[in-house]
Structure 1
Amino acid sequence: MAEPAQLELVAVTKRYGTTVAVDAIDLKIPAGTYCCLLGPSGCGKSSTLRMIAGHEIASEGDIVLGPHNVTELPPAKRGTAMMFQSYALFPHLTVLDNVAFALKMRGVDKAVRHEKALKLLELVAMTPYAGRLPAQLSGGQQQRVALARALITEPQILLLDEPLSALDPFLRVRMRAELKRLQRELGITFIHVTHGQEEAMALADLVVLMNGGKIEQQGSPREVFNKPRTEFVARFMGGHNVIRTLDGLVAVRTDHLSVSKDTAAGRPARVVDVEYQGAWIHANLMAEDGTDLVALVPEATFDRDPFQVGDVVSVHWDAAAAHPLA
């Protein structure tokens, strides 16, 4: 594979007519990083990925890959490769020829390109399927072929546009592990667009959470989850209660919210729903001021002092567990 390279976006903007899809974002992605662009539909993450790939041209700003400004370069000249959400395999070509296709377009000798394609099929555990057509493969197998095809050009950065969205939940988790393994083995930068926070936290070294065309927060998964900067981040990442206190707005993790039947122990709240989730009891509550709250109560704690729907309980948390929001 090619040497990994740092990617830098400098005040990158994308407009579609009067609509600003990406609004002057600055971002540095160190070489060899697994970066997830995360956010809701319409936040600008896919437009950002397509500008990095060269499939969209930036309205303003610069895209710098290693020492080179690639803002105006066509996709094939950038040192990036894109794996599309639909996989976009050629239905009439075998798995081997699908993987080797980019080298065929470059005029590489058949024996050479097939040898290289077979090495990549071995990397993604698809060697036994080299002679099959895409229609004879499962969704997970098609994804592996699409990965091998993207990697054959030896990109410095692999771009992945919601690559797991078409897979069933069990296979999605398995393929997450495969993607992480591949990225570690290859040592190149992966930039992966997703709207799933669990997926981003499982995969990424760097999470870039976007909202309304801007970067709302970036950092390691633990930083973004444990120290959300804003109410949007706390709510989007999940696992937090957003609570208004006398000192302002704070985020309290659902597993740090304690529930007690002793109504003098904290803020009163009514139990709305109780779900058994194995090691945890998931409790939905409503505070007196109408705030929806969620508590994850360890099973053993719940069994010592159980509560049920309709009960009035008290909720409380340690001061150190409350993270202030901007």
Structure 2
Amino acid sequence: MQLTRRHALRLTGCAGVAAGLAACSPAPSRTASTGDSVAMQLGWIKNVQFAGEYLAIENGHYAAAGLTVDLLAGGAAGTSTEAGIDTGKVWVGTSTPQKVAAAIEQGVPVRVIGATLATSPACITSPESAPLRTPKDLVGKRVGVADHNLPTFEALLVANGVDPSAVKVIPVQFDPSPLVNGEVDAWSGFTTNEPVSLRAKGFPTYSFLYGDFGLRMCAQVFVVSEQTLSADRGRCKAFLTAEIKGWKDALADPDRGVALTVSKYGADQKLDTAHQRALLDATLPLIQTPDTLRDGLFTLSPSLIADTVTSLGRTGSGVTAAELFDTSVLSEVYAENPALR
């Protein structure tokens, strides 16, 4: 499967962002920071999936690292991490390997330096009363798929010997009501999202991960520019150190992470405490895996890097591991401070 321009635009999230990425030349990282203050673009709205960042602020970990971090909410048009870095509006951000790879192929000099989620939550969800357990079970079924996720969904099918034309794709947005209403038989989403919200509404589901069927990838990756890696390495290390401590705090005290989300950082969204706790409960096992327990949070094992690049290749991406990842900064952080593991 070749990466067509249409697929590239889907992977970046919107055509306007992709055009901006292609048109802008790299801007100095100093425009995204002033003194010890840096801008961080979040990959989504300020919900509990960024509890580690909130705790890094509240528990003084950024301050101890000599940083003041301005968290910028994502989720709206024009909030792409890659575009923000490319134009100098942000210094660091979180994103997905798909979006970073697409940006790199468009000439944007960015790298992944670690991953919050060692396991992607991408999944196929179906009603518990009529579970679809493998990609082959999707043959002849109606599956709700957001447009930007279509290349990855098609890659899942092809990787498992399923002709994409044998599955009826129904374009959807974010609301999984079509699954509840019987308008679709399955839903392409995330274990940290739709199954959580549907279970809270009394609709039990069954999910299987993309990663268990040939599309293993990391997720919620940290992204910086190549220039930052070379010219601002010390601050990269300080930032990652603070992030590790913040997420360790979230793992140790998830209730506080939830409380900060609901009462402060996501207060304008009127978030539900129980729902946010359920979302975090679904997220934490993707952060703390056997590999990260051994090597440290955010680390990327050689097998995970290889699988991520292979999975991206199934979507048509030609990006290499060396083009996408730079794990040297995180390796130095743990070498210099083994107690962080």
Does the pair score TM above 0.5? Answer: no
Query: Normalized against structure 1, the TM-score is what?
Result: 0.27
Normalising by structure 2, we get a TM-score of 0.26
The structure with the larger Rg is: 1
Higher strand share: 1
